[in-house]
Amino acid sequence: MLGGQTLAEAALAAGFTDQSHMTRHFGQSYGLPPARWLRMLGRA
């Protein structure tokens, strides 16, 4: 995601079956969805 990948590409590269699975896991782990995290970093 930080390297310019889409969320779907990052999910597959990280071993998730799809983007929604990664988004759900990310939210449970960090308390916010990956898109919001990227916006906070100024990346999205």
Every domain of the chain and the residues it spans: 7-41
Q: Is the pLDDT of residue 37 over 60?
A: yes
- 44: pLDDT confidence band, cut at 50, 70 and 90? low
Q: Is the pLDDT of residue 5 over 90?
A: no
- 9: pLDDT confidence band, cut at 50, 70 and 90? very high
How far apart CA 16 and CA 8 sit, in angstroms, is 9
pLDDT in the model for residue 43: 66
Reported as a single tens digit per residue, the pLDDT across 14-36 is: 999 999 999 999 999 999 999 89
